[in-house]
Structure 1
Amino acid sequence: MTTHYPIGRPGIPWSDDEKKQWFEMQSIKRTYQDEVLHKLPFLPSVFKSEQYGALPIDTERYPLMAITPVNPDPALPYMLITGGVHGYETSGVQGALDFALNHAQAYSHLVNLIILPCISPWGYETINRWGANAVDPNRSFTAESDSFEAKAALQYVKALSVEPIMHIDLHETTDTDNSEFRPALSARDAVEQAVWQIPDGFYLVADSQAPEIDFQKAIIKAVEQVTHIADADDKGNIIGAPILYQGVIGYDKKALNLCAGMTNARFVTTTEVYPDSPRTDAKNCIDAQVAAIKAAVDFALERGV
């Protein structure tokens, strides 16, 4: 059971006043400029960065950026990599950037890579799950979305008019999920949210409607060479969901309006790294994300083309 959150009254959903109060409690803890934007000029020459929008809270500070091939080859498949849907999940952002800077060129003659490394830059700076309007982008990938971050990313990908064969969405599960974000969700919506045992280790969330278990297995096999895989809890679940395979659970991506459900890609997964584990560190978490991306691309190239 969640505890009382310091904003709002128990049993009453937040009004705009409570959402404004929540927003005013947030503070800048790191800079999108230094940790994301300043890295984009160093992309390999076969890639470019392009702006697909900007957050209305500060359009100069928060341009929304994508990494794409300079000369996409229409004969090659497309694959989508997304990070930072939840801004507080650091290794997703930095893993996407590390892959783009140091590994993507090796695939440039095999696949057209589309990388959105930091979908929620305000969330990244304030280390938040939500956007500035107290909306979770990762439940909001619809054309009528209240999340500017999710709506802008969805519109950009749709405007490309291509159908990716693979989409990997990079996330983390942190201790603050129980200490901050689920209690905040409970208070905002006046709906009790159960907390769960935070899994110690890496795991994947497949699309329960088309899990492609061999694809998930290939990623787990690659990542376990880098970091440890999460075990099930004492109920045989991970974050309340039953195990499909070691370190793999499933969600209905489209029904939940998740980022990983925004295309019709055959191979879909969401990574979840646990950065608070005593068995890992920031670099290891980034390395795990990179290993997952490479394994996902390799598998999709082998089986999907």
Structure 2
Amino acid sequence: MNTMRYLNDWGLIRMTYREAYDEGRKRIISDEADIECAIILEYVMGTDRNDLFAHPERELIKEEEEKFFSLIKRRNSGEPVQYITGKTFFYGLEFFCDPAVLIPRFDTEVLVEEIIKNAPKDAKLLDLCTGSGCIALSVKHERNDLCVFASDISKAALATAKKNKENLSLDVTFIESDMFENIDEKFDVIVSNPPYIPKEVIEGLDEKVKKFEPYNALCGGEDGLNYYRIIADKAKGYLNADASLMMEIGFDQGESVSNLLRENGYERINVIKDLNGLDRVVTAVLKG
């Protein structure tokens, strides 16, 4: 079918899927231009990647084309594609994601797997610094027997986490709390992916991280260990006898965090590596 075409600032008004994708990936300044362009195009068109391949001749209307290229401009400003589309995937689930929370990373799935494998049956679990709720909700999705609580100091982060809870229809209790301040129960397992990047390292992070992701969810103080110190000390008052502590750590923090736990009376301390062979999770037990 012949379609009338005329030029505007971007090129052809009636661009096809294929043309929009090819033009978009040329414009995106990113090492992952191909996949990011596809994600943005799918978002604009309200479709999935299969549609792009099955119907490359489908045409965009003017509003879709304008939105597509405006979002590419946002991506080129450094804004992460997850914030642009408002979604990301973690442990096989789709999560709503906005600038109130850190974007869930694949590395954190190592912590989730440890929790799923090792949490006792019917255990009560607390996820500190929950952010988007990705850890607590992923664990609950896989281990429905667990009674899961999750806390964060940020009202905005909790709003995002609660939206994910509703979207996923999972039973997790969210609590607004500065670490243990508003926690009044004891748990069989406490987990956390706290802020752990040293202050001086923040400036050297990728632009899309340091400019767009929440600083307070990244910075762990001068040496990156502030929150580990709090957890190692305070968690003892909120753990049942023989309960477990599991935390994500930076690639070079295994020894430092292990020492903090040892100094605070924890036993059976273990550092788990990620798929790249880097320290990623530390686990410990508080003996009764």
TM-score, structure 2 normalization: 0.33
Q: Which has the higher contact order (CA 8 A, sep 6+)?
A: 1
Larger Rg: 2
TM-score, structure 1 normalization: 0.31
Higher helix share: 2
